Amino acid sequence: MSRFEKRAVFVLVVIFTFFLVFSGCQSQNPRPAMATPTQVQADAYALIAQARAAYRAADFEKALELARKAATADPGNNTAWDLYRQASIAQAANTYLSTLPKHRYRLPVEVFLRDRVNHTKDWFVIDVREPDEYAQGHIEGAINIPLRELMKHLDELPSSKTAPILLYCHSQKRATHALVILHELGYIKAYNLEGGYAAYVNWLRHNPTPTPGPTPTPAPEEPDYGC
C-alpha cells in the first residue's frame, strides 16, 4: 500500500470514529421534544381547572393569575380568556366591597352645604342626569355629564385621583353606578350626594342655608386604605 493510500485510510478511520462518537452523544442527550398542540391545550385546561377552583374558593387574585397563565399558554382558548375577564371583575368587585365604609360613600346634604360655605373641602360636583333635567335646576357649579356618557368625558375629571368628587342624580340611583365606576378607576374620594338632587331641594326648602361659622364640618366616613 502506498503512502498516499495509507493516509487516505487513516483519514477515513478518523472520520468514521468521529461520526460514531457524535452519534452516541446525540443518542445520550436528545433534544427536548417540542410541546404538541394537544399538550398545550391540556396544560391550559389544567390551569383553567385550578383557576376555577380558586374562583369558587373566592381567591380571585389566584384565579386571575392562573387564568392569565392559561390564556398565555393557549391564546386561542376562549374559555381561558372568559375566565380571566370574570376573575378580573370579581377581584375588582371584592376590593371595592371589602373597603366599603359604613355610610357607603354617601355624603349628607347638610355636610356638603357646610363644606361649601366654610370652604373646608372643595368638592368637584358632577350631575349625571340628562341635559334636560340639568337645565330645569341643578347645584350651582356642578358640571353635567350624563351617566351613559361618563367614560367619554374622563378628561374633564380632576387630574388627582384623591380629589373630592361629589356625584348626584335625581334620587341617587344613577349616581351609584357612576360612583362604582369612578372608584374602580382609582378616584378613592368620590361620593354620592345622599338622596340626590331631590333631597338637596327638599333640605333647602325646610332648612335655612348654612352660614360660615366655627362649627367644624362633619367628615364623611372613609375606608381604611392601610396607609
Residues annotated as catalytic (active site), given as ranges: 169
DSSP assignments along 80-130, one per residue? HHHHHHHHHHHHHHHHHHHT--TTTTEE-HHHHHHHHHHTSS--EEEE-S-
Distance CA 61, CA 176 (A): 26
Cell 417540542, located at residue: 34
Q: The sheet that has 124-127: what strands, in order across it?
A: 106-107, 190-193, 165-168, 124-127, 143-144
**192: helix, strand or coil:** strand
Contact call for residues 200 and 168 (beta carbons, < 8 A):
yes
Residue type (1 letter), 224? D
Cell of 93: 368587585
